[in-house]
Structure 1
Amino acid sequence: MTVLKGFKDFILRGNVIELAVAVVIGASFTAIVNGFVTGIINPVLALLFDTGDLAAATVPLGMGRNAPELGYGIVISAIIQFIMVAAVVYFALIVPMNYLKKVQFRKKAEEPAVVEPAPPTDTELLVEIRDLLQSAHNDRKKSESA
């Protein structure tokens, strides 16, 4: 039963939920960026490389009809998609988070620091104990003489 309780605590912890949300949002961003690159960037680059489809852009590695071809177009497309996803993540997530952290840090720096009184020294404590013992002793003497 403790294993199931531990698992439940793990799942209900905020970090796991936030991570799941981040994965879903990341997948959505990736789909949007891939659509943008496939639909807009790749056709423009295909014009530059004089090919109908950028992924089909190749260079023959040898002479003849059966010579293998180096498919550089698909690599260029993948690099562009990676750069676009990285840019979206950076500008949509990292920059705003860094700004919020900076604002939070400034607010903490502007707040006056709460100065707690220093704890009493050993000598001060001993003097206080001595005074308490002396007053207790004096009270006992008064009650015995009365």
Structure 2
Amino acid sequence: MIQGFKEFILRGNVIDLAVAVVIGAAFTAIVNVVVDALVNPLISLFFAADSLDTALMWEVPTLFGGTATFAIGAIIGAVINFLAVAVVVYFAFVMPMNRAKERAARKAGVTEEEPALPTEQELLVQIRDLLEKDQTPRV
């Protein structure tokens, strides 16, 4: 049981995940600063609001005399934050790592092409032929 846990921890996926969580948490601070320093001032140029959280708010009267507020701007802000994080993570981490892996594979002489697997029909024909060959008359 301990050997299995040791293999799981040292497999690399867990370490990759831990690094991703730490980098993601650190990158959140950068995205928040960009939104506060760049996106929110741009929003204030076009809308009468300080940020997307308070821009594009839609208030609807409820059945019981109150109001329900739909913060469309907050949704748009969350989408912008997500896209900003995804773009930076892709161009700063994923793309360079993929290129490094490709270079290492070329240097090692490993090709990514795998032999084509037989189709389902070809496998069935092989099974049929093996079964026919195996059927010998029994006396």
Q: TM-score, normalised by structure 2?
A: 0.62
Q: Which has the larger radius of gyration?
A: 1
Summarize deviations over 1:23-72 as a string: whole Å, max 9, x none: 21122112211221133212311331221332112123359x94323211
Summarize deviations over 1:66-121 as a string: whole Å, max 9, x none: 432321111111011001000111110122123223323443459xxxxxxxxxxx
Partner of 1:27: 25
Query: Which amino acid is 1:59 matched to?
Result: W
Structure 1: gaps of 5 or more residues: 111-146
Query: Which amino acid is 1:81 matched to?
Result: N
What is the correspondence of 1:83-102 to structure 2 with a 5 Å cutoff? 83-102=83-102
Query: Which amino acid is 2:75 matched to?
Result: V
Residues paired across the two proteins, number: 107
Q: Secondary structure at the match of 1:60?
A: strand
CA RMSD, 1 decimal: 2.7
Q: TM-score, normalised by structure 1?
A: 0.59
Change (3 A) 1:14 1:94: closer
Note if contact 1:42-1:77 (Cα within 8 Å) is conserved in structure 2: no
User: Could you tell me how far apart the structure 2 residues matched to 1:73 and 1:106 are?
Assistant: 47
Q: Secondary structure at the match of 1:55?
A: coil
Note if contact 1:43-1:54 (Cα within 8 Å) is conserved in structure 2: no
What is the correspondence of 1:23-62 to structure 2 with a 5 Å cutoff? 23-57=21-55, 58-62=57-61
Change (3 A) 1:9 1:102: closer
Note if contact 2:40-2:50 (Cα within 8 Å) is conserved in structure 1: no
User: Could you tell me how far apart the structure 1 residues matched to 2:97 and 2:69 are?
Assistant: 45
